[in-house]
Structure formats: C-alpha cells, structure tokens
Chain A
Amino acid sequence: MNDPASKQNPAWAWSDPATVPGMNRRSFLRATVAAASGLAAVAALAPLRELKNFTSVDEFLQKHYTELTPEEMARVLKRIEDEVEKQYGLRPHVRDYKPMNGVEFVYCLNLTRCIGCRKCVHACVAENNQSRSPEIQYIRVLKMPNGTFDVEKAEHNYAPESVPEPGFYYMPVQCHQCKNPPCVKVCPVKATWKDDDGIVVIDYNWCIGCRYCEAACPYWARRFNFTAPSIPKERLNPNMSYLGNRPRQQGVMEKCHFCIQRTRAGRYPACVEVCPAGARKFGNILDPDSEVSHILKDKRVFVLKEEVGTLPRFFYYFEI
C-alpha cells in the first residue's frame, strides 16, 4: 500500500494497466471498484426517477393569495389552466371568484327529510373534482338510531339494500364554515382563512400539508391528499375556481367550500341541487326573504357540538 506508483497516478482514471505507464494491478483494481460503486450508486438511486411533477419555478415563487395583484392572479390562473390542460387534455375555465357584497352564506339541513341516500356525497365529488381512487369525499353521512345523538357511535359505512332503514336517521356532516374556525387558528402559514361571505377557503398553493387543521377541526371536515388525486379525464368538471375545485396536488389539504364556483356566481351548491328529498337548504342569511332566513326564524335549528364554540354556519333541524 506504500507503493510510490499509486501515489503518482491517481486511481480515478479509466485506463488499461498494460498500456498506461505507472498503472499497477492495485491501482487498476481500485479504479474498477470505484467505478463499479459509482454505477451501483446510480442504480441504487433509481427509485428517485419515479419522482415527477416537480413544482414549477413560477409556482414556487408565487405569492400568498392576498398579496397577488390582479395581473399576477391572471397569470396564475393561466398557468393553472395550462397545467390542467397538460395533465387532462381538457382546457378548463379557472376563475378567482370573490365574495359578493352583502352576502353571508348559511346552510340548513333538515334531518327529518334526509333519507341517507348519499347522492350529495357523489354530486359533490363530481362537482369539485375530488380524487376518485383513493377516495376523497367532503360529506360523510352518519347513521344513528332514532332517539340517540352520539356521533362517536354513528355508522358511516352502512350499506343496506335500501334507505331509509326503519328506526334510524341520517346526519350528513361536512365543513361547517365556522365563524370562529379552529382550523384557521392553527394554520402556521395562513394557507386557510375565512372570507367575507363566511366561506373558509384554502390556497392549495400555499398549504404545506402539516395537517394541523385536520387535527383541529371538531367536525372531521378536512381531507388530506396523501397521494396525487386521480380523476378520470371524462369526469373532470371544467368550471373551476382558484380557491375551490381546481385539481389539487399531492400533499395539500382540501374540504367543502360551499361550491365557490357555483355559489359565488349566484347558483345553489351541487349537494343542494341533487338532494332528492329537498333536505338541504342554502342561501344568504342577510336576505330576510331567503329560505335559510325563514328556516332560522321558523324552525328549531341547532348546531353540531355547540359547546366547542365554533359558531358554525351549518344548521340542522328536525320537523314533523
């Protein structure tokens, strides 16, 4: 090992010991071993090749939603349209819908009417471009025996031949758009906040995926993209909003946003329109003639987990 030749000739050279002067057997072996280990290292790191969809520079440098100027937002929307078109082969229409003046949304759900058919769940998935496999669903329908109200013991995997089942009632739960939202308080990066019309929104480009909000929510309303969402191209809803139903990426949080792309354009949410029993009611609580105003005046509404002080905008009620 103290042989002077190997010191004069660095071993890191591709060379034939027979033709290169000064190359002896030991340094040739060392060079071969080094080269082989280099190649093996490349092969061993091969799984990294499966990493794709790196964040683009523009996306990485994008500012927080509230700091974007209208021109920057227009560029961001165009970039998102390009990305969706590249991925799904379909040019979407992505808009940034702002809250309307004089509008605060309220949602009311009539538990006497709900039959537990879960059509709302799937209309929501279709409208909001949620991942189909693995599934992400914003609405969870709980089944509870009549006369009880223990959501911890509720059943949400029920699969009978037909619903409603005698002796049970059904309670769909989704984001309650709280006036005092714990999820917003715990977000370390302000990726989620409460807008003026009461909707708690998420900027999917700002979310770091820490899942604090999921832990903070007392209504189990937030969903995390553990994998990249998979949406069949033919089921993609091209009417998209920045804070709403544009396709999410892996590692971000999402939840019900009252169908921003519909409600901020004046329309009813998808779950309201699909409910066969008319159990779901939605509207502007600042309009004294809206359905929800009449319900809050006339019916005995209650909120889920009132004692935790979240002040939900989502009201339940029973009636005869």
Chain B
Amino acid sequence: MNADTKTAAVLIASAVLFLALAAAFQRDLWGRPAALPAIPLVDPVFTNPAPTRVSAADLKRTGGDMTDFECNTCHELNKPGNLRFDDKGQVVLPKEHGELVMHHGRNDRNNNCFNCHNPLNREELLTKDGHKLRIWESTRLCASCHGPTYRDWELGVHGRMSGYWNRALGPFTRVDCASCHHPHAPIFAPRPPAPGPHPLRPAAVPPARQHASH
C-alpha cells in the first residue's frame, strides 16, 4: 500500500467516523444525561426567624389587640372564683374557657388557675411569695418557680438570641418565656419538619433506609 492509498483510506475512515459521530450527536443516540428533577424551593415559613408564639408582652410592645387579656370585663374584681374539680382531681373548665388546655407540668397536676393567676384580679399574676405582676410581666412569674432556667435565660444560655453577639456593635434581642412556651402547655408542640435533603437521584436512597425513616 503506497502513501496515496493510505491517505485516502485515512481520509475516508475519518470522514465516516466524524459523519457517524455527527449523526449520533444530532440524533442524540446514546442520550444526554437526563435533566434531574427540579427540587422544589423550600417554603419561606421554614426560614422565618420569628418566635413560635406571640406573647402578651409582644402584643403590648407592638400595639396589638389586648382584649383577650381584659379579664375583668366578665370576672368581678376582688371576688375569688370557685374552681370545680372532677373525681380525678382535674379542674373542670367552664364553657367560656373551653379552649384552654391544662398541660403545665409533666403529670398534668398543675391545674389550679390560681397557681399563677391572682384570684382577686384575673388581669394580674400572683407569685407564691405574693408579688403581683401584670400579664405581660409573666417572665418573672416563671422565674419564681424555674430558677435555674431563669438564671440561664438571663445569661443568654436558655432561649433564643438574635441580633448582635458583639454588644459593642449593636443591639440583641432575648425573647420572653411566653414567646416560645405556651404558659398552659409549655412543652414545645410537635411541628412538621422542613424537607430533608433531596438525593441527587431519587433512587439513590435504598428502600430500606426510606422505610426506616417512618
């Protein structure tokens, strides 16, 4: 085979190869990697840094509607109420307060309204050592029983902090007890979790692991 034959053979072979490649790319014969399914954006509720609740103190600070805390519209001042208890020792809530839940304490035994509320003036709170507090000063009432937690809260160790860790550069915010804990049911209520990590390809998670998460 002389040089010219070789040249022709190489030219023809490369032409055939390139033509085949071009056709293959054009027809997408072996396929591009399929576009991965788009991962939905997370609901902004999961990136919202606002506290879980709006406490009476928050309402007062922001000028919100405080009518829920005007107890003396119905209750008479200086007249102690009569609490009724069922045979299990649980307080019987009147129908006007039917929406209240009484889950303060792990054993649900802390169910006497006047453990915290002033029996003579329901718009006030009354500590066991006789300090009268307004309804938006409830953090001090919590402190009267939960001493170590209050100490931690004052140091910033318990509860939420936001703003500036460097006090010289700006303000910080420490929220009140009732901004996270419901006073009548202080344990954090279960809530839906934000979506977990999406694997690059859904099938990459072995079925056993998926099952284990439920």
CB pair B197–A40 under 8 Å, yes or no, is: no
Q: What 1/0 mask marks residues of chain A from 213 to 255 whose CB sits below 8 Å from any chain B CB?
A: 0000000000000100000100100000000000000000000
Cα A235 to Cα B212 in complex, Å, equals 33
Q: Which of A57-65, A176-184, A198-206, A259-267 contacts B (4 or more CB under 8 A)?
A: A259-267
| B25→A163 contact, CB < 8 A | no
Hey, which chain A residues are within 8 Å of B180, CB to CB? 276-278
11 interchain pairs (CB within 8 A)? A40-B18, A46-B25, A118-B194, A125-B42, A157-B197, A157-B209, A159-B214, A160-B213, A266-B165, A266-B166, A268-B165
Whether B15 contacts A33 by the Cβ 8 Å rule is yes
Total contacts A-B at CB 8 Å: 187
Quick check: A163 and B191 within 8 Å, CB to CB? yes
Query: Among A73-81, A91-99, A131-139, A187-195, which stretch is in contact with chain B?
Result: A131-139
- Are A284 and B165 neighbours in the complex by a CB distance under 8 Å? yes
Q: Looking at the complex, which one of B49, B51, B213 makes contact with A157 (CB distance below 8 Å)? A: B213
Cβ of A132 and Cβ of B18 under 8 Å apart?
A: no
Per-position binary interface string of chain B over residues 39-58, scored 1 when its CB falls under 8 Å from any chain A CB and 0 otherwise: 10110001111011000000
Chain A residues near B213 (CB, 8 Å)?
143, 155, 157-160
Contacts of A33 in B (CB 8 A): 8, 11-12, 15
Chain A interface main SS type: mixed
Complex-state Cα separation, A270 to B2, whole angstroms? 75
Report the Cα distance A270→B162, complex, angstroms: 9
* A51 at interface by CB-CB < 8 Å: no
B65-77: contact bitstring with A at CB < 8 Å (1 yes, 0 no)?
0000000000000
Given the known A-B contacts A132-B41, A163-B190, A265-B169, are A43 and B161 also in contact in the complex, defined by CB atoms under 8 Å?
no
Decide yes or no: A278 and B39 within 8 Å by CB, A6-B4, A40-B19, A158-B196 being known contacts: no
In the assembled complex, B205 has its CB within 8 A of some CB on chain A:
yes
Give B159's nearest chain A residue, CB to CB. A278
Question: Does B94 count as interface, using CB distance less than 8 angstroms?
Answer: no
| Minimum distance in angstroms from A173 CB to a CB of chain B | 12
